[in-house]
Amino acid sequence: MPDKYDAIVVGSGACGSWAAMELTGAGMNVLMLEAGPRIDPAEQFRHKFPYELDYRGRGRPGLLRRYAGSERNYRIMIDNVENPYTTSPETVYSWGRSRCLGGRTLHWARATDRMADYEFKAASRDGYGIDWPVSYADVKPYYDRIESFIGVSAAAEGFPQFPDGIFLPPMALNCAETIFTAACTSLGWPSTHRRLAQLTRPHNGRPPCHYCGNCVNGCDVGAMFNPIAVTLPPALHTGKLEIRTDSIAARIRMNAENRAEGITYIGRESKTSVDVDATWVVLAASTLENTRLLLLSSKGGLANSSGTLGQYMMDQVGGGGVSGILPKLKGGPSRLDDGKMAGITIPAFENIDTKTRRKDFIRGYVMNATGGQTEFPQFAANLPGYGSEWKKEVKSRYVAQARVWIAGGEMLARRDNFVELDPEVKDHWGIPVLKIHFTHGDNDYTLIEDFQQKAEELFRKAGGELMPGPVMPAGFPGGAGSPEGAPVRQGSGANAATSRRRPLGGSIHECGTARMSVSPKDGVLNSYCQTHDVPNLYVFGGNAFPSTGDKHPTLTMMALAARGCDHLIASSKG
């Protein structure tokens, strides 16, 4: 254990593990601090059928009040009792988190999309907010590098709003996806295979997907990108990476020369405080945890000369969507439709240029569609009737299920959506927690209404028949009398019920709160995700985003991290 590391990386998810791989690859001695435990994939990721679990995947009643997720994956989620957060009265926001080695990429949706210049430079086009200080040309080499390494299955299409990359063969389409593709063609809408960090052939020593459909419970062979299968092994192989799990970063320590000296962390079990020093400090603990650390590290927030730290919080707009059946598929044979948990993507086709400009809202959204057999027939309890005829009808519809949902809808950045340290509430280790102030604006509502209309139009064109939404049984999450009805501090503002409009959902794509900017007056980070104020402090994650864009954010977060690592390595060489 060196007295001083070349770099400390806080967090082991998509960005942190990439940084560890890049920095150790450049010869640096790196210490990685992970707040959660080292999990055992061989034990945790073994696939089970619901009937093998006592509570059929829902967990012992009360368990999921403490953890998000399901009985199959709650161990890779966060303990909400130990790690609370608070919200302002008008806020309805559920902050989805993981705390374990590998972070949220252990159960992510794997969507791996490049952003385009109409997103990076949106402010120049419609006058709202600020442009990103990088363009597609700046980020493209890093998209290439990451896609080449992690493996992305997709089809190159040539859509300017959905830039192509370096792809493995796409996942095949099931019958419902084929019908939706035909419907898109008929409507004149673009569509393509969903782009996924999931292998369709062996790649860099990893096996391809075996189409079991258990992605969100942790991939048991490492066919989908996650740090413990992909980025941490080569970093460990250098012999220059030390990983300390169960180590909760509490603050960044500064020296008299305005440089970060290191991190103070608290042992998760021991609750003892430990100081570690490094020449470079990289925060990659997830968007809001990064900001929390900056807020904890100095009165008024570290690296906050702009006064924008914590502000402009965003999450891509969710909610709405359509579900039902495609009559063409009704009564067909049982097929492995959900073995890839994928679908098709319908890239934005409005507000992408002057010809497609809408007068009633700015920015846009991406849709997904899929269908066919799923593990549990969510619709069945709402299907009228009972008896043998009802059973036959359930089976007949089971293979014909279909749905259209919003993959990512751009939420406009607003200064009055922000996070701060709660003055009273602390976590299990005595560290102040975040208080979230988060509401949606008019544009967000208009955008989601447009999505809803388009989703229904697509469903009708595909010949779809709508069905009522799912019903959860009593005693289970979401069901009558459910103990999970009001999860612990999971963001249901007291005034939300009196709001004039129903709350919109989020996408677990939180962004902003330490945005990048050309001028130090406008943001916390420069275009390399280096803080404007502290030269040896970098922040990797969604913090940097000046706007959400309409693409899933992980690939762009990783690309910015890779670009930042190049800058850090170059700076370290002098």
Partner 1 sequence: MTRRDLLRLAACALASEGATEFFGAWLQAGMPAHAHGTQPPEPSLLREYKPKFFNADDFAALQSFTEILIPTDGTPGAREAHCAHFIDFVLDASSEVAPEAGRQWREAMRALKAIGFHAAASADREAIVAAMARPERERGAAHPAYFAYRLIKQQNTFAFYTSRAGLIEALEYKGNTYNATFPACDHPEHRVID
Q: Which stretch binds partner 1 (CB under 8 A): 141-149, 251-259, 307-315, 386-394?
A: 386-394
| Beta carbon of residue 205, minimum distance to partner 1 (angstroms, whole number) | 2
Euclidean distance between CA atoms 454 and 4, whole angstroms: 56
Residue 476 contacts partner 1 per CB under 8 A = yes
User: Cβ closer to partner 1: 339 or 491?
Assistant: 339
Site for partner 1 in 157-186 (CB under 8 A): 171-175, 177-179, 181-183, 185-186
- Among 156, 381, 494, 570, which residue sits at the site for partner 1 (rule: CB under 8 A)? 381
User: Cβ closer to partner 1: 235 or 411?
Assistant: 235
| Beta carbon of residue 383, minimum distance to partner 1 (angstroms, whole number) | 9
Euclidean distance between CA atoms 307 and 320, whole angstroms: 35
Site for partner 1 in 23-62 (CB under 8 A): 41-43, 45-52, 54-57, 60-62
Contacts 24+ apart (CB under 8 A), 390-396: 396/330, 396/331
Euclidean distance between CA atoms 202 and 216, whole angstroms: 21
| Beta carbon of residue 554, minimum distance to partner 1 (angstroms, whole number) | 20
Euclidean distance between CA atoms 247 and 263, whole angstroms: 11
Euclidean distance between CA atoms 574 and 571, whole angstroms: 5
| Beta carbon of residue 462, minimum distance to partner 1 (angstroms, whole number) | 7
Residue 188 contacts partner 1 per CB under 8 A = no
Residue 334 contacts partner 1 per CB under 8 A = yes
Residues 6+ apart with CB under 8 A from 68: 74, 77, 78, 80, 96, 97, 487
Contact in structure between 561 and 569 (CB atoms under 8 Å): no
User: Cβ closer to partner 1: 329 or 562?
Assistant: 329
| Beta carbon of residue 69, minimum distance to partner 1 (angstroms, whole number) | 17
Reference 279, options 17, 26, 29; nearest CA is: 29
Residue 377 contacts partner 1 per CB under 8 A = yes
Residues 6+ apart with CB under 8 A from 18: 146, 231, 540, 558, 561, 562, 565
Residue 455 contacts partner 1 per CB under 8 A = no
Residue 244 contacts partner 1 per CB under 8 A = no
Q: Which stretch binds partner 1 (CB under 8 A): 80-88, 130-138, 287-295, 368-376?
A: 368-376
Residues 6+ apart with CB under 8 A from 350: 356, 357, 358, 364, 450
Site for partner 1 in 500-529 (CB under 8 A): none
Strands 86-87 and 192-193: unpaired
User: Cβ closer to partner 1: 418 or 476?
Assistant: 476
User: Cβ closer to partner 1: 54 or 442?
Assistant: 54
Residue 79 contacts partner 1 per CB under 8 A = no
Contact in structure between 369 and 346 (CB atoms under 8 Å): yes
Residue 395 contacts partner 1 per CB under 8 A = yes
